Each structure stands twice: as structure tokens, then as C-alpha cells.
Amino acid sequence: MSVKAVRYLTPLGGIIMDTPMKTKTHRNMSIVARYPVTVFTADGFLDGVTQLINSRGALIRCRRPPRQHETTTIRIQLSKRESLVVEAEVMMLHFSEPSENQEVVPLGMVVRFKNLSSVGRKRLRSVIAKHYAKKIQRMTDRN
């Protein structure tokens, strides 16, 4: 007796196997989503946008990111009525390729969320799961 599995390609190139008995899911799946972000630093605040986000951190595109390993406060606008304020550590800076005049421009940063409450983490996971489910539905509608 064989069970037919349905394969779904994720936006990031992964594969989810869906069988009638069990669905594989990932605990910290990342999604490609653009949420407005405000980064509060000692020098003021920066506006940016998320590129990738999961329940543990995010890739944020912004100009003049804080220094690496600096801890900062970030506000992520999840919807028109809801935002999430979280403390985050800058894990890595993202720069452009050198231009003709050897100038390197900062493009953003990778942050790791610190001290995110269990309620905040659950809320972020539910937003990610809803976003992910919509993408899967769009992909299945195309096929």
C-alpha cells in the first residue's frame, strides 16, 4: 500500500511534503515579507523594511544600519493596527558590491530577536504561518 504525497515548493526553494497522515512543518520557517520597520538607535531612528523574517530574527533593508553586535529596539508594523516592539542584536551587516569608484553602500542588517516574550513570539509565528499559507494557496492555484 502506497500513500501519494503532494509536494509544494516554498518561496525559498524548500519542499514541503504533504501526505494524508502527516504534514511536515518547520519550527522556524522564514518568509519573504515586506513589513515596515523602525529601528531606534542612540543616534535617532531609521526607517526600513523586512526582506526575510522568522520568529527568531529578520533581514532588514535600511540605510546606515547600526554597528554589528549592537543591541537596538525595533518596531515591526505587522498590520495597520498592530505592531511588535522587540529588542534585537545586529548579527551581520549587508553591503552592496563595490561600485566603479570602490564605494561600498550599506544595504541592511540581519538581526536576532532578544527577550521576545512568548506572547510576542506566538503572535509573530501566527502572522508568518498565515502569510505562508496564503503563498502556498497561490502556488497551488497556479498549478
Q: Is 14 inside any structural domain?
A: no
Q: Find the distance separating the first CA and the last CA of the chain, reported in whole Å.
A: 27
Extract the C-alpha cell encoding 96: 552592496
Angle at 15 between CA 13 and CA 16, to 5 degrees: 140
What does the longest C-alpha to C-alpha distance in the chain come to? 65
Least confident span in 24-28, 34-38, 45-49: 24-28
The answer to whether residue 97 sits within a structural domain is yes
Sign of the dihedral defined by the CA atoms of residues 66, 40, 59, 90, in that order: positive
pLDDT tens, residue by residue, 59-81: 999 888 888 899 999 999 988 88
State how many domains the chain has. Answer: 1
Look at residues 68, 8, 66 and name the one whose alpha carbon lies nearest to residue 37. 66
- Closest of 66, 67, 84 to residue 124, by C-alpha: 84
Q: Is residue 15 part of a domain?
A: no
Run of H or E including 136: helix 118-142
Domain region containing 98: 26-142
pLDDT in tens, 19-31: 444 444 555 667 8
The pLDDT of residue 63 is 83
Please indicate whether residue 123 or residue 19 has the higher confidence score (pLDDT).
123
Please report, for the domain that includes residue 49, its CATH number.
2.40.10.220
In order, the DSSP letters of 35-52 are -EEEEEETTEEEEEEEEE
All residues at 6 or more sequence positions from 27 whose CB lies less than 8 Å from its CB, including other chains: none
Domain assignment of residue 7, yes or no: no
Residue 41 is placed in which grid cell? 538607535
